[in-house]
Structure 1
Amino acid sequence: MGRYAAMVSGPAGSGKSTFCTALITHAQSIGRNVHLFNLDPAAERFEYEPSIDIKELITLEDVMEEMRLGPNGGLIYCFEYLLDNLDWLEDQLGQFDDDYIIIDCPGQIELYTHFPIMSRLISVLQQQFNFRICACYLLESQFMDDKTKYFAGVLSAMSAMINLEVPHLNLMSKMDLVAKGETGDAIQTGRRREMERYFDPDPLLLVDEVNSKTNPRFHALNQAVVQLIEDFSMVSFMPLDVTDEDSVGSVLSHIDNALQYGEDEEPKEPKDMDMGDFEE
């Protein structure tokens, strides 16, 4: 078998750690051997104890104190330090040869959208440590209530896809909260149909709604932004409800497909059959 890693990224508060927990819980329930890799040097609490933790190498708190850096500069320093100490990373990863690694990343989206830090780390994992990697980018579903935020989220997802250059899955997270407080199957069904147009967005159909809420001076900019999204036509979303095991299972199956999980397994010998079963 190969080595597989799902890199979970996205803005702060989008539900990355909660998704990692749900993904690990579901994977373990179906007999998968999965491990958590905490890649956030500022993370403090975990539902599952990380098998690999960058904080054992370096912490953001120490960097900010000793180097007199702010949170963003300190985070960049932490990743540069990690890339300068690949022997530590190799030692940590060496004990997980045929396992599935879930990588919980920080919430600073600039790491994925325009800084080369994460793309360099991905190259190391692929080329030196022989991992197949799929990136999962989470965007909070409540962004749909504000179309301008939604377009900003789509652009950030597109930028991450271009920057990371690995199989990519965009997830609309916290779907369990979208219909919270609503009652009745008809209402929830209608709300669901309303949400579906955001999963595979047609920005040209949404620009009028954005223009109605923004100053006319920005209408030309809005049009340029949605045209950019339309021209690239890269971004689509899967709904994610971490409280629904079927939803988590569906996401995991898409990750498996992107990673070609299990395709390196040796074919199994067929069981001996009693030829008498075929006799009349």
Structure 2
Amino acid sequence: MGRYVQLVMGPAGSGKSTYCATMMTHCQNIGRSVHLFNLDPAAEKFEYNPTIDIRDLITLEDVMEELQYGPNGGLIYCLEFLLNNMDWLEDELGEYEDDYLIIDCPGQIELYTHFPIMRRICECLQRMHFRICGVYLLESQFIQDNSKFFAGVMSAMSAMVSLEIPHINVLSKMDLLGKFKKRELERRAQIIVSYTCILS
């Protein structure tokens, strides 16, 4: 069948972990072999225990304590440490030949827009013969405010351009929109689609 990956990205609080849990439930219900890979060294709670966990290699708490880094610097250090120890990841992924992998990524969007870390991780996964699709979540409440909406669209576009992998934008938490006009929702969602089509 092959090796497939969903790289689940987006700002902190956009619903990535909830999305991952929903996908895990769906795949298990249809009998698809699926595994959750936690790529966030600061994560604490999961609805599904991850099969692969970067915290088995390095944790943000240890980095902050030992190196006196702040949260953002510590996170970058952790992911660079992973890149320098890709043999650990290859060993962890080696036994999942025909399985589906969902990667729950950290919420710092700088990792996708300002640093080449996530791109290098994608390149390493591709060398391991994984087919990768990026899923970028953006909280739907952002579309109610013009500045937040365009900031969200630009961050999604920046991640897509930086990673150069097939990319899907997802508006999450639709139930929190309340009485926002459906026509305005459709118009703004079409803008996101247009950006995706132009840059594909």
| TM-score band w.r.t. shorter chain | over 0.9
Indicate the structure whose relative CO is greater, using CA pairs within 8 Å and at least 6 residues apart: 2
The amino acid that maps onto 1:110 is: E
Q: How does 1:182-201 map to 2 (within 5 A)?
A: 191-201=181-191
Whichever residue aligns with residue 121 of structure 1, its letter is I
Q: Which residue of 2 aligns with 1:81?
A: 81
Equivalent residues in 2 for 1:1-150, closer than 5 Å: 1-127=1-127, 129-150=128-149
2:173 maps to a residue whose letter is K
> What amino acid sits opposite 1:191 in the alignment?
K
The amino acid across from 2:35 in the alignment is H
What is the CA-CA distance between 1:80 and the residue it aligns to? 0.8
For the pair shown, the structure with the greater C-alpha radius of gyration is 1
List structure 1 runs of 4+ shifted beyond 3 angstroms.
none
Measure the CA separation in 2 of the matches of 1:111 and 1:200.
26
The percent identity for this pair of structures is 66
Asked whether the 8 Å contact 1:38–1:53 carries over to 2, the reply is yes
Which residue matches 1:219? none
Q: Distance in 2 between matches of 1:114 and 1:235?
A: 20
Contact 1:154 1:235 survives alignment (8 Å): no
CA distance in 2, matches of 1:118, 1:12: 16
Q: CA deviation at 1:234?
A: 2.5
Q: Structure 1: 5+ residue runs without aligned partners?
A: 183-189, 203-232, 237-280
TM-score under structure 2 length normalisation: 0.94
Instruction: Report matched runs for 1:262-273 at 5 Å.
Output: none
- For structure 2, the residue ranges without an aligned partner over 5 or more in a row are none
Q: Which residue of 2 aligns with 1:178?
A: 177
TM-score by length of 1: 0.68
Judged with a 3 Å threshold, the aligned counterparts in structure 2 of structure 1 residues 31 and 192 are, in CA distance, closer, same or farther, namely farther
Cα RMSD of the aligned pairs, angstroms, is 1.4
SS across alignment from 1:234: helix
AA partner of residue 150 (structure 2): F
